[in-house]
Structure 1
Amino acid sequence: MILLRIMLFPFAVLYGWITRFRNWLYDKGVLKSYSFDIPVIAVGNLSVGGTGKTPQIEYLIRLLSVEYNVAVLSRGYKRKSKGFVLADTNSNAETLGDEPYQYYRKFQNVQVAVDADRKNGITQLLSQHEKPDVILLDDAYQHRKVKAGFYILLTSYDDLYADDFMLPTGNLREGRNGAKRADIIIVTKCPAGISEKERNEISHRLKISNKQALFFTYISYDDRIYGNNDIIPVSDIIAKHKTLVAGIAKPLPFFEHLRNERDVLMTFPDHHDFSMEDVSKITEKPDNLIVTTEKDYVRLIDKLQSDRLFYLPIKTAFVSGQQDFNQKVKSVFLKRGEITSVKN
């Protein structure tokens, strides 16, 4: 695999020039970007998958939905529907995609929509009877057709964009210069005890500008797992026989958090659409608890109706500077006088 990536280096160089030229066209106004009269916050990355966008979006929902009407707009990766779809009681992972459906199930006080055309999606959300005060664009850092008012760029601690290269040799969807568009850069999935010295070293490697803010976060696991009819403390299930199921980009931390030496570990591709054959394999051991990620749970729940099926929620936690981050995000409502309606 490594040899193949090296052999594809010329294509990576070509892809890098194409994405750079595309960004230049947007920067110079040759290709038009559209902005809107309400705050739009884009969250994304330079690389493909595994940087923790979902818990970061959920953090922003919790932060902003107390005061504002929040809408989340995603493309709905691997969904089976087309065009603009606003989540409702008939929605599921197939019509929305796993992550948007997770948002919808979890946060009943926010609007969740999907549309590959983010400009159209925002326009549709603004035409709803209950208009949002702020729109969170999920995985939209490269969607230059919409000019967001605020950009949050994520990069994983163990795979910094500064150490990566363009696809297909590396994992970057656009060159490292794309980081300059970010207002905030977050290094995700850090060790909780990362030292100040290492944080300063990473800041230097990422070449953070004076106009940007850098934060470090880690994954905080819930102390309980959740099923349809039961909630169990994690401490009670560590020693039990389990089948651990993960269809995410980087499953190892999930496994290491829950596993014992007798557990069955089952890994699937990111955003995997579970087949009935998959379900049969997952349920092979009738005495095992089945524990999966929250994202996989929303894909499995309609196919695996079982009291043995549970999921482990995660949250984004800040190493330091959480209040500073919150204030910087909320400052988007003060830009250009765009103070919007506040919830009663």
Structure 2
Amino acid sequence: MRFLLYLFSLIYSLVIWMKNLFFDLGILSSKEYSVPIICIGNITAGGTGKTPHTEYLLYLLCDKKTAVLSRGYNRKKKGLVWVDVNSKPENVGDEPLQIKQKFPDTIVVVSGNRRKGIEEILKKHPETEVILMDDGFQHRWIKAGMNILLNNYENTIYSDSLLPLGRLRESKKAISRANIIITTKCPKMTPPEKTGINNQLNIDAYQNSFFSSIIYNNWKPISTSEKISTNEKYHITLVTSVANADNLKLHLDENRHIVNHLSFPDHHNFTKTDIENILSEYYSTTSDKNIILSTEKDKVKLTNFKAKFNGIKLFFIPINIKIDREQEFNNLITDYVANHKRNR
């Protein structure tokens, strides 16, 4: 079996190499636009933290008319869709809906055709000052003015293999296309440890490397107005459909909560049967400190079943991103946007 995976990986690598070669030689062309475009992407398939880093940029650029363009992974409705706060997650994708609900004044569009997505944004909203392209690093049909590449500390680019043998979408050489590399989900690190990662990534003089970590915030209610203190110890039915919830599980364990984790595939759209199973697990514990806790991404999907959770303590845990040398990173972003203002 491993031999077959290796063989398919070689075939896949050849196809990706040819595609990138054609772009590098100009046989395939990347289109530039007059508006600043920042791409937040990865080489590893899933789990690097694109959405919280996109949200970080939205907070940073809150004084700009910003649009977010995403593919809308695992959505049922195809083509270009304008995301509304009341959109259904199965039609637009869970992460674009999360962003829209969190930043309702931000334009959010999902489109598999990124060129069409950008052109429709600029046509309908000519006042747009910057576009954030979520998960577009491999989409070379568009030439982003700034490419931010995310490298998961727990599953680094340099320790992985190409699909399907590993989780890499393309060769490690693609790191050279990035302006900024952020190693994400980091624990506390010493300067020598950071230097070691930078050496493995082969950071060049024109590139900037940063490290980010996850900050877990106070739980927020989904189906109740009740607020609870996270200083108390709870019996938690943890519901997640993310690439990897190990850090969240560890965070809850370290705070001495009793956790029963119900893990679903990444971007999973919950069914009535799923909800019944979640509730069955919840009711199997008689503790008066019994709650259901989910991620913010899962919150937008569980809200569809709000009536099912009537009278139940259902919460989600928001997160933020902390970037080392934060001001230096912020300056790189704001300077790029300021120096590439759109000519109308």
Structure 1 pair 130–147 and aligned structure 2 pair: CA distance change class (3 A): closer
**C-alpha contact 1:187 1:215 (8 A) present in aligned 2:** yes
The alignment status of 1:322 with 2:326, answered yes or no, reads yes
Give the alignment of 1:112-261 within 5 angstroms: 112-129=108-125, 131-191=127-187, 193-228=188-223, 229-236=225-232, 239-259=233-253, 260=256
State how far apart, in whole Å, the 2-side matches of 1:291 and 1:46 are.
Answer: 30
Q: CA deviation at 1:111?
A: 0.8
The alignment status of 1:303 with 2:305, answered yes or no, reads yes
Structure 1 pair 208–79 and aligned structure 2 pair: CA distance change class (3 A): same
Corresponding letter in the other structure for 1:266 = L
Q: CA deviation at 1:32?
A: 1.8
Structure 1 pair 220–105 and aligned structure 2 pair: CA distance change class (3 A): same
Corresponding letter in the other structure for 2:43 = L
| Identity within the alignment, % | 38
Q: Name segments (4+ residues, structure 1) moved above 6 Å.
A: none
**C-alpha contact 1:333 1:340 (8 A) present in aligned 2:** no
**C-alpha contact 1:227 1:310 (8 A) present in aligned 2:** yes
**C-alpha contact 2:236 2:257 (8 A) present in aligned 1:** no
TM-score normalised according to structure 1 size: 0.92
The alignment status of 1:27 with 2:29, answered yes or no, reads no
Structure 1 pair 159–6 and aligned structure 2 pair: CA distance change class (3 A): farther
Which is further off, 260-269 or 26-35?
260-269
Q: CA deviation at 1:43?
A: 0.6
**C-alpha contact 1:157 1:190 (8 A) present in aligned 2:** yes
Per-residue CA distance 1:113-132 (angstroms, 9 max, x = gap): 10000000000000114631
Which is further off, 303-312 or 256-265?
256-265
**C-alpha contact 1:98 1:298 (8 A) present in aligned 2:** yes
Aligned residues: 331
Structure 1 pair 334–272 and aligned structure 2 pair: CA distance change class (3 A): same
State how far apart, in whole Å, the 1-side matches of 2:156 and 2:114 are.
Answer: 27
Q: CA deviation at 1:33?
A: 1.2
Q: CA deviation at 1:300?
A: 1.2
Q: CA deviation at 1:88?
A: 2.3
**Alpha-carbon RMSD:** 1.6
Q: CA deviation at 1:35?
A: 1.0
Q: CA deviation at 1:11?
A: 1.2
**C-alpha contact 2:85 2:104 (8 A) present in aligned 1:** no
Structure 1 pair 47–20 and aligned structure 2 pair: CA distance change class (3 A): same
